[in-house]
Amino acid sequence: MSNNCLKFLFFFAVVGLLLLSCFNPFAPKLDNAAGPPIVITAQETPEQVLQNFVYAYTFKDSLVYADLLDSSFVFVYFDPNAGGSGRFVSWGRDVDLKTTGRLFRNFETISLTWNQTIYEDSLFVDSIFTGIELSKTLQLNFFGKTAEYSLSGSAIFIFKQNDDKKWRITRWKDESQM
């Protein structure tokens, strides 16, 4: 083989390795056909918190999800089986993180869409601003290997701004109809 032929083969081998190094066979395929790319925000507003919420559910990212919740976080929902005739039940941040982690592990695809804002209100205690209450409608779809679930409804969130200037959720009341 001539020197030129060896150089030619070496060149294509290097180019081939460079092209292959950009390919990650373990990376999930992204389907952004439905809208703009989903990115992580700095959580400078409650709306940015909700954008990160979509990111966390879409990519099943429990670290991003954990950063959405304030240390005082409470999740509230209506349990029709509790107490015989049903009642509101709540749990704290630690239980919510475990529950959401199981949710992320048990479904292949999760799709969350925030729809209409029902209302937004500033919260005050003794004339001191303490946070924002926001009610949104939503569509949530879960796709598993053997089952699909769809949920639509609304949620009421209370947000507060922390010392690190990030907004976080302190309370989430689920008002969805199961």
CATH number, residue 144: 3.10.450.50
Q: Is residue 54 part of a domain?
A: yes
**Three-state SS sequence of 87-110:** EEEEEEHHHHHHHHHHHHHHCCEE
Q: Is residue 101 part of a domain?
A: yes
Q: Is residue 116 part of a domain?
A: yes
Q: Is residue 7 part of a domain?
A: no
Quote the pTM value. 0.78
pLDDT of res. 86: 83
User: At 176, is the pLDDT very low, low, confident or very high (cuts 50, 70, 90)?
Assistant: confident
Q: What is the pLDDT of residues 131-147, one digit of tens each?
A: 999 999 999 999 998 88
User: Which pair of tokens denotes residue 92?
Assistant: 């704290």
Q: Is residue 166 part of a domain?
A: yes
**Mean pLDDT score, 126-133:** 91
Sort strands 87-92 and 69-79 into parallel, antiparallel or unpaired: antiparallel
Structural domain harbouring 149: 43-174
Q: Is residue 6 part of a domain?
A: no
Domain total of the chain = 1
User: At 83, is the pLDDT very low, low, confident or very high (cuts 50, 70, 90)?
Assistant: confident
Kindly report the length of the chain: 178
Q: Is residue 90 part of a domain?
A: yes
Q: Is residue 161 part of a domain?
A: yes
Which DSSP string corresponds to the chain? --HHHHHHHHHHHHHHHHHHHT--TTSPPP--TTSSPP------SHHHHHHHHHHHHHHT-HHHHHHHEEEEEEEEEEETTTTTT-EEEEEEHHHHHHHHHHHHHH-SEEEEEEEEEEEEEEEEETTEEEEEEEEEEEEEEEE-SS-EEEEEEEEEEEEEE-TTS-EEEEEEEE----
User: Which pair of tokens denotes residue 177?
Assistant: 């109809």
